[in-house]
Each structure stands twice: as C-alpha cells, then as structure tokens.
Amino acid sequence: MLTLLSAMYLVVRTASAQAEPIRVLVTGAAGQIAYSLLYSIAKGDVFGKDQPIILVLLDITPMLPVLDGVVMELQDCALPLLREVIPTDKVEVGFKDLDAAILVGSMPRKEGMERKDLLKANVAIFKTQGEALEKYAKKTVKVLVVGNPANTNCLIASKSAPSIPKENFSCLTRLDHNRARSQVAIRVGVPSDSVKNVIIWGNHSSTQYPDVHHAIVNHHGKEMSGFDAVNDESWLKGDFITTVQQRGAAVIKARKLSSAMSAAKAICDHMRDIWFGTPDGEWVSMGIYSTGNSYGVPDDLMYSFPVMIKNKTWKVVDGLSINDFSRGKMDGTAAELVEERDTALTFLGA
C-alpha cells in the first residue's frame, strides 16, 4: 500500500509526465542576466513544478560557442522538467511556437554613444524581434521585454506584432519594485515580505517614480501605512526615491558589472505572477500598454502601473488617490516616455 507521501509524489510525477512542454525563449542567452536566470526557469521556479520546459536560447552568431557552454551546464544540472535546450542565432528557430518570450538581449550603451543612437540601434533590434513574434510565435505568447530602454523597446516590439494583443506585452519594472520594497523594509527593520503595494510609475529609467503613498507595512504584527511605518517623510520624498532610481548605476559602480542576480530574480517574479496571478489584495508593478487609464497617463506608451493579475490577465489598480507631489513625478516620467516613443517612431518609419 502506498503511503500518503509516496502517493502524492506519484501524482506530481504523473502530472509532470503528462503535461505538454511549453516553449520559452530567452534572448541574449549568453549574457550574464540569462546565466543567472536560466537555472530558475529550468528547475520550475517560474512556470510551475510540474510544467516541462523547452528552453530556446537566442543570441548573435559570435556568441554561439558561449551558448554551447550554457547548454552543457543546463544538461549537467540533470533537471527533470527540462526536456530540450535549443541554442540558435536564427529568429525563425528562436521564435517558433512560443508560449513565453523573455527578451533580455539589447544593444548596450557604449562610450561616447548618444541616447538617440542607442534608441536607434534598439528600435532595429526590437522591430525585427516583433516581426518574428508576429510570424512564428503563438498568438497567445506572453512577452516580457528586459533589454533597455525596456519600455520603448517593448512598445516597438508590440507595434511590430500587430496580431498579438498589446496586453500580451510587458516590460520589466519589477526590479525597481523589489528595490523599493526592500529599501522600505530595511529602513523599518522588517523582512521584505512585510512590505506590500509599493508602486513604480512610468519609465524604467532615472525618471521612474517609486511611490509608497499606498504601501502597507506589517510592523511586528500591526499593519500600517508605509509613511507611518517609516516615519520620515523627507527620506521618503528624497533619498528613497533617488536610491531606487539610481540603484542600477550604483551596482555597476560597485561591481563593475550590471545587476544580473537581482534582474534575474525580478524576471522570475514577473513571469511567475503572469502565470499564477497576484495574491488577493496585493499588486505589483509592470510596464504595460497605456490606453484609457484613470491616471491621466497618455495613451500608446508602455508605462509602469500597479496591476493585479488573474488568469494570465493584468488589470490596472484604479481609483488610487494621487497627490500633487505624485502627479508631478508621474507626469515627468510620462513626458520622457512620450519623447522616447516619438523619436523611436521616426526611426521605425525610416
């Protein structure tokens, strides 16, 4: 007779054996963010412990030898959910029949490069990738853009894949969300999971607005507002905001490399919430398509809002009160996104 434990194990193993694998693409797959990310995806931390995975790893041709090493390491992990690893430099292979696409790779800013030049290079990349999604991927594919400038890259990809719903595209501001949550937790002296409902508004750039006006902190068993828990308004409206805005640059200055570990964790958090939803009463921050929102944010941008997710569908948290301080910050980051979009669209039409 099976013990309860062995019976439960058999059920999990049987479900895993019966589930159809999903195809997950990671671009820039030879880079350091992907190196921190792929193991978590392959072992079931993102799409579920009973969901087999086919990992598709796309990078530029000169990086294929490095990709071969990544494939060997994934194989050597002996992960039961990982059914196949496909390294490629061809979009027709990389984007075929995808269930999820995590677009990490982008042109990094080089010394002496103007912001406009960086945007032009990335418009070309994400136009190509959007067209590949349109041509080869499932129409239900969930697309997460990580490569910077993430919001505008995401917008260009979505415009280049017109038959895939705009709602299927999002860009990563979860790293900023996690940074904001952690900074409040450290300041108050509580674990990070005792802080919820911070918000990142706008662009994943130094104009983003980390907002704690609606945050809730569980302070040793008592729930209170973020402002009351911190009890330092000048810090919350000053150093807190600049710390979150400039955290990526601070990591690069310290490490001489970008924040790969925390970015990979944020990607996992973002995609897992899309797949399984957000807890009741809690929201997360995501860069999503702005259309007809209640916060006066211009349409046709990828702008970070607070969202709740259910059945793989996000919904903006409406009705939050916005004071004059927040309005100014939200409008400032929106203005930057409008400028980025308009510049990108001129390149798109060229």
Q: What is the CATH number of the domain that holds 69?
A: 3.40.50.720
Residues annotated catalytic, as ranges: 204
Residue 14 lies in a domain: no
Mark whether 233 and 304 lie in a shared domain. Answer: yes
Mark whether 162 and 193 lie in a shared domain. Answer: no
122 is in an annotated binding site: yes
Q: Is the dihedral of CA 108, 263, 256, 238 positive or negative?
A: positive
Q: Mind listing the pLDDT tens digit of every residue in the chain (350 residues)?
A: 445 545 444 444 444 456 899 999 999 999 999 999 999 999 999 999 999 999 999 999 999 999 999 999 999 999 999 999 999 999 999 999 999 999 999 887 776 667 778 888 999 999 999 999 999 999 999 999 999 999 999 999 999 999 999 999 999 999 999 999 999 999 999 999 999 999 999 999 999 999 999 999 999 899 999 999 999 999 999 999 999 999 999 998 999 988 999 999 999 999 999 999 999 999 999 999 999 999 999 999 999 999 999 999 999 999 999 999 999 999 999 999 999 999 999 988 75
- The DSSP code for 193 is G
Mark whether 207 and 221 lie in a shared domain. Answer: yes
**Tokens matching residue 87:** 């390294």
Mark whether 184 and 316 lie in a shared domain. Answer: yes
Q: How far is CA 18 from CA 10, 21, 81, in A?
A: 12, 9, 12
Mark whether 266 and 337 lie in a shared domain. Answer: yes
Mark whether 192 and 329 lie in a shared domain. Answer: yes
Split into its structural domains, the chain has a count of 2
Mark whether 238 and 300 lie in a shared domain. Answer: yes
151 is in an annotated binding site: no
187 is in an annotated binding site: no
- Residues spanned by the domain of 226: 173-345
- The DSSP code for 63 is G
Question: Across-strand partners of 288?
Answer: 303
272 is in an annotated binding site: no
For 297-342, where are the E strands, in sequence order?
302-310, 313-316
CA-nearest of 172, 116, 161, 114 to 135 is 161
pTM: 0.93
Q: Is 248 helix (H, G, I), strand (E, B) or coil?
A: helix
255 is in an annotated binding site: no
Supply the CATH number for residue 281's domain. 3.90.110.10
What backbone torsions phi and psi does residue 284 show, to the nearest 5 degrees? -130, 170
Find out whether the peptide bond into 149 is cis, omega within 30 degrees of 0: yes
Q: How far is CA 44 from CA 23, 26, 37, 109, 135, in A?
A: 13, 15, 12, 33, 28
**Tokens matching residue 156:** 């260009």
Whether 51 and 22 have beta carbons less than 8 Å apart is answered as yes
